[in-house]
Amino acid sequence: MDLDQGLRARLVEVGVELLQAEGHTALSLREIARRAGVSHGAPRRYFPTHLSLLSAIARAGFTALAAEIDTALTAAPPEPRARILALSRAYTGFASTRRGMFELMFRHDLLQSGYLGLREAGLPLFRLLTGLVAEARPGAGQRPEVTAGVLWAALHGMAELRNWGSLQLATGASDPAPFLDAILTAHLGPDSGDDPA
């Protein structure tokens, strides 16, 4: 890796660390540059706007989420529903443990900006979920993309409501397991009993 690529990667790495430690409000160009040990103008050489740097940091989040989901699926039983449950647990677990990153990854202004193809960065995950839904519900009347879309929306909404504390307040429950089970049952039908509890 040449010096320019190394510094660019370092700026993103520092941004990821800062995001995890202090949240998205700490992600100024000046603070990232300071922590990376470069002049405050140096990030502009690689990221012409603040949004472009934030997009690079968010893209690192999609890479990290994909790795966590891959690990979860490797350990999951082979049945499609069990794999969807593993994916769901990894997705909502990531949202809980990397809350700042999760929020940044889905920020409307970043997705709308088009920097680094950020909107497309989540497509491999969606295609994976769609494939698993098609396996779990072969011959279902509804297109698997539609079921995967509403399943993703439900998982994302549940994750956000848990992060805000609203779900716990409304239901008195902090364990996400019953909510995940209800989401899968609503969109995939009852568990046939093949999957572990």
Start-end of H helices in the chain: 3-22, 29-36, 43-46, 50-75, 80-97, 99-105, 108-113, 118-121, 123-136, 144-164, 166-171, 177-188
Give the domain range for residue 40.
Answer: 1-48
CATH number of the domain that residue 5 is part of? 1.10.10.60
Say if CB 54 and CB 112 are below 8 A apart: no
The CATH number linked to 117 is 1.10.357.10
Q: pLDDT tens, position by position, for the chain (197 residues)?
A: 555 678 889 999 999 999 999 988 888 888 999 999 998 888 888 888 888 899 999 999 999 999 999 999 999 999 999 999 999 999 999 999 999 999 999 988 888 887 778 888 889 999 999 999 999 988 777 799 999 999 999 999 999 999 999 999 999 998 999 999 999 999 998 887 644 44
pTM of the model: 0.88
Q: Show which of 33, 48, 63 is a domain's final residue.
A: 48
